[in-house]
Structure 1
Amino acid sequence: MAQKSCAEVFAMKASFRWARAAAILLAASCLTYCTNSPFDNEIETEARTLAGEVQLNDLQDKRAGVYVWLEGLNLSTWTDVAGRFELELPRTLEAERVSGVYRLYFYVANYGVHSVEAVVQNGRFLYGQADVYTNGELKKPIRLFKILNVKLLVDPPSVPQNYLGGIDAQVTFQATLDTVTVIIPKSVGGLLGGLFFENAETGEIHIDIPDIGAHTRETIRVGAEPTSRRQIFQLNGANFRELFLTPGNYRVIPYFFIKQNELPEALLKSLGQDPQNLEPVPAYLKIPLRANEAILQIF
């Protein structure tokens, strides 16, 4: 038997996905008809919300702040302290009679991305279809597994504002199981390409870029052995770039991305970060990451 070409295989897969989605929507149409009220011909429930629970396999990591994103409709929410979430469809989708089978993604940067299916018909969720129970709850709790340990360090951690020495910021990566790819934009000479300084009290953000004109990126394959990258900065700018940081406590966050093939680029864009753009922007800090805090105190 002759082997099928890549194009033929792709076409077959696309055709299968289309047929599967069409079958789900056809079954959903029947379900909608069957749940109509015989008295006033109105659907008994609005079915505009979808709820569930997200669990992290590392129990030391907080459940709050897992990003939940509905692909195709670009709707999102975050989990609460218990790992619970609720996503609501806007009424405009009902007016537009939006229908389709959509994937709901659950994302923390250093955890494996996970997704489930949800069916929307005429702007409402179809309960009892795909991965959703008849009450609008996901059939199973979403369990995310950590793929990369990230350890942050700043040394010295406390300095006066007139400190003249260099301050070392370091990040150490270690894969938990399989090899993980880490991308460091604007890296030159094996160093970090940027640091964010977020004032813990005011939320004000400063960005330090060693080489503003660099259009480079380093790709690291991280395994079981710890792999570190660093960047040295200085407050007064005598030997390095000058940072105008007033007295206070600052979270020091290095600029890097963790590559996951299953992660849609549109998800990162929904957080305000274009992975094709090498320039660090404040929106980068919206990307959820489970790591220790590296605090720099300036007094």
Structure 2
Amino acid sequence: MSDTRTLINPAQLNRTVYRVVLVLAVTAFTLAFLGPLYLLVTDGLKSTAEAIQTPPTFYPHHLEPSNYSDAWNRLNIAQLLLNTLWYAFGALAFQLVLDVAAAYSLSKLRPVLGNVVLGMMLATLMIPAMVLVVPQYLTVLDLPLVHLNLLNSPWAIWLPSVANAFNIYLLKRFFDSVPQELLDSASMDGAGPMRTLLSIVLPMSWPIIAVLSVFALVNVWKDFLWPLLAEPDPTKQTLNAGIYSLSLGVPENVLIAAAAISAIPTVLFFLIFQRNIMSGLTAGSLKG
């Protein structure tokens, strides 16, 4: 059977079609993700009339970069930023201590009814977060047993963030992949469970800990409703909640500029640590 000779090699045609489709798909997804960020930043550079104009303009016809400095000063963003950092890193510290301890216990110490406890924790992931707002608010309003009011204190942000079943599950899955032979060797050398955790398990767990750190920081940073309820004082609120509370009488273009400022840290944080996030999510997926 003789080969059919054509002007265009079919293999070359397939590669060309593949590249065209790939470029179009990447371009479409890039525009879908970066388009809102571009509009957010550029709307903060417009006048008030142009910012609320319908249909919106694609670029500022008259640049007003002073909107960003006005947003920084009028909405006290420096203080709100410090509040957010304080809450975020405090929540991270509590999550690393308590969630790591819970996951290590369920994975390696294997307590009685440990699987039942894990199943009950995972079941809470099926409950919508909005359903938990009211009982969570009543809890921090009058903490059981000690009867303390935690409103307007960092504990109202820190304590609810510790109960994170998703983080415990990710940590447990990673700890399950740590070879049991290493733990047995440490036990034969006289190391207790705490020493084994600190000296062997945690040094091997930096990829997943990095991922959970990113999740913990971003979750506090982007949260809006709970900081608004738990911190009624606007001077003690997080960045997003504080901008909303202090927005009365502030022009729309200045508010948009403030929203753009609040988005910058999380975007930079993801761009810097995106490789760690992806490697950490796949860490522990394979045994051995």
Please identify the structure whose Cα radius of gyration is greater.
2
Larger proportion of strand: 1
TM-score (norm 1): 0.27
Highest relative contact order (Cα 8 Å, sep 6+), 1 or 2? 2
TM-score (norm 2): 0.27
Larger proportion of helix: 2
